A = this chain, B = another copy of it.
Amino acid sequence: MPMTRRYVEQLADGDNVDEVFLVFDKQLRANRNGNSYIQLDLGDRTGTINARMWNAGEPLFRSFEAGDFLQVKGKVQLFQGALQLILNTFDKFDSNRLELTDFLPHTQHDVSKLLERLKTAVRKVSDPHLRALGETYFIDDEFMRAFARCPAGVKVHHAYVGGLLEHVVTMMDVAEKVLPIYPEVNRDLVIMGVFLHDSGKVRELSFYRSFSYSDEGQLLGHLTIGIEMLAEKAKRVPDLTGEPFPPELLLRLKHFILSHHGEPEFGSPKVPMTAEAVALHAIDLMDSRIHIAVREIADDRSESAWTPYNAALGRRMYKGGRSPATAAGDDAD
């Protein structure tokens, strides 16, 4: 593998390629003359490209699977308005020799700093039971590794490695700024709610080589998983504090997880019924909605005053820059 990786987004018509890619899809096809060829979708964290190896048969086709990495050699060409990669040779590549983050999109923030901010916020919680509960998560290496890596969702726009952590830390920032305006809302509880509300996603999602749902994720969902994890952790707290975890406190934390989607029509089994759960829902909504809107606009590099229609959002976003008066004038000439 070369020192500096050549990413899919850097490939251009006529380039010679010698690089490792992840196989997203594979098919064996026959052309009009009846000769078989292999067609692949190859990719890395910057995108995917269609690739073909002519005159290749079933034995070669069966020598690898989707999800494997291939070291490929070949040439880029333009076909029907899109680039494709014509392969000369390829070999399976050992994933242990790879930097996996090259193959999935990830947050642009420094994950270790995000983790530091998370821990600092939780350790400033004044209630000793809640603070100890936070530690039971922090000392669970497997959980923390997954939490640092987990995306916030599997769909294109929210999905990147570290997305969940970034979302949680930004929500903590919002909470720290906003809660002093509402003194009746308990800061300790909201900070813990922010930390834990989506924690079940580390088992709901599968995010090692691609983003998808685990069996458990599909059958149970992150609310149920998160509550089960919380019940486990709360049993560990007495080891740190010498006292049982207060039942009402545990109930309030579970209610955070169960109610943070806010409304039954958004999959919330319970509506928020504590002042803190109402605040958590509002903070979650604010961060996710603004994040999507800002990203939608930032990702569109066209010169149009509008982003393309986004079906998930149900709208286009207005970027501006073209005077509406002029636009109307066009018609009235």
Leading 3 A-B pairs by shortest Cβ distance:
A177-B177, A282-B286, A30-B78
Q: How many residues of A contact B (CB 8 A)?
A: 93
List chain B residues, Cβ under 8 A from A325: 247
List chain B residues, Cβ under 8 A from A305: 215
List chain B residues, Cβ under 8 A from A78: 29-30, 34, 36
A328 to B293, CA, bound (A): 32
Scoring A residues 59 to 80 as 1 if CB is less than 8 Å from chain B, else 0, what string do you get?
0000000000000000001111
Q: What number of copies of this chain does the assembly contain?
A: 6
A96 to B192, CA, bound (A): 44
Query: Is A130 in the interface zone, CB < 8 Å from B?
Result: no
A252 to B178, CA, bound (A): 26
List chain B residues, Cβ under 8 A from A30: 13, 77-81
- The answer to whether B81 touches A28, judged by C-beta atoms less than 8 angstroms apart, is yes
A231 to B321, CA, bound (A): 21
Contact with A219, one of B251, B279, B314, B322 (Cβ below 8 angstroms): B251
Given A78-B36, A274-B317, verify A215-B332 contact (CB < 8 Å): no
Determine how close the nearest CB of chain B comes to the CB of A275; give it in whole angstroms.
Answer: 5
A208 to B326, CA, bound (A): 13
Taking Cβ atoms with an 8 Å cutoff, the residues of A that contact B are 13, 27-32, 34, 36, 39, 77-81, 142, 145-146, 170, 173-174, 177-178, 181-182, 184-185, 203, 205-208, 214-216, 218-221, 223-224, 227-228, 231, 246-248, 251-252, 254-255, 258, 264, 267, 269-275, 278-279, 281-283, 285-286, 289-290, 293-294, 297-298, 305-306, 314-318, 320-325, 327-328, 330-333
A239 to B7, CA, bound (A): 54
List chain B residues, Cβ under 8 A from A27: 81
- The answer to whether B320 touches A274, judged by C-beta atoms less than 8 angstroms apart, is yes
List chain B residues, Cβ under 8 A from A327: 206, 214-216
A119 to B215, CA, bound (A): 31
- The answer to whether B182 touches A290, judged by C-beta atoms less than 8 angstroms apart, is yes
List chain B residues, Cβ under 8 A from A271: 314-315
Given A285-B285, A290-B185, verify A219-B270 contact (CB < 8 Å): yes
Determine how close the nearest CB of chain B comes to the CB of A227; give it in whole angstroms.
Answer: 6
- The answer to whether A206 touches B316, judged by C-beta atoms less than 8 angstroms apart, is no
List chain B residues, Cβ under 8 A from A182: 290, 294
List chain B residues, Cβ under 8 A from A207: 331
- The answer to whether B214 touches A331, judged by C-beta atoms less than 8 angstroms apart, is yes
Given A216-B251, A219-B270, A227-B228, verify A203-B328 contact (CB < 8 Å): yes
